[in-house]
Amino acid sequence: MTVGGWTFLSNYGHVLIALAKDPDARMRDIADRVGITERAVQQIVRELVDQGYVFKDKAGRRNRYHIAPHAHLRHELEAGVSLGEFVALLRRPIDRTAPSRASRPVGARVREPADTSDAGPT
């Protein structure tokens, strides 16, 4: 979790990304990664399967999960974005050599000094 106690994605988004990264993951492992109970993960996965966002295949005694890449996000603000695009965005490798602005709170970011070259006499 973050310092402020909230994140930009819901538990549904976190579970979806966890399944996309590891289709063979156990519910217990996803619960640990997301920070919710195993029962909550089971409910979320069941809803994602029921709504057609995730497909479940039996692999022996385990389940394997597949994201439906052509399904679209539900909210009208993101309705034009497919699950495939969403997952690809969040699975993109992170450039660890670039300085991270996200690690600092917005208010703590350094602002560039104002250009005073055109300011008249003081």
Residue 71's pLDDT band, with cuts at 50, 70 and 90, is very high
Residue 87 has pLDDT above 70, yes or no: yes
Using CA atoms, how far apart are residues 51 and 107, in angstroms rounded to an integer? 40
Residue 38 belongs to a domain: yes
Give residue 95's pLDDT: 61
Residue 31 belongs to a domain: yes
Residue 65 belongs to a domain: yes
**What pTM was estimated for this model as a whole?**
0.70
Q: Which domain holds residue 47?
A: 11-91
> With pLDDT > 70 as the criterion, what percentage of the chain qualifies?
72
Using CA atoms, how far apart are residues 88 and 85, in angstroms rounded to an integer? 5
Residue 122 belongs to a domain: no
Residue 48 belongs to a domain: yes
Q: How many domains does one find in the chain?
A: 1
**CATH number of the structural domain spanning residue 22:** 1.10.10.10
Residue 5 belongs to a domain: no
Using CA atoms, how far apart are residues 37 and 77, in angstroms rounded to an integer? 29
Using a 10 angstrom Cβ sphere, with 0-12 exposed, 13-18 middle and 19 or more buried, the burial of residue 35 is exposed
Are 55 and 65 in contact by the 8 Å Cβ rule? The answer is yes
Give residue 5's pLDDT: 80
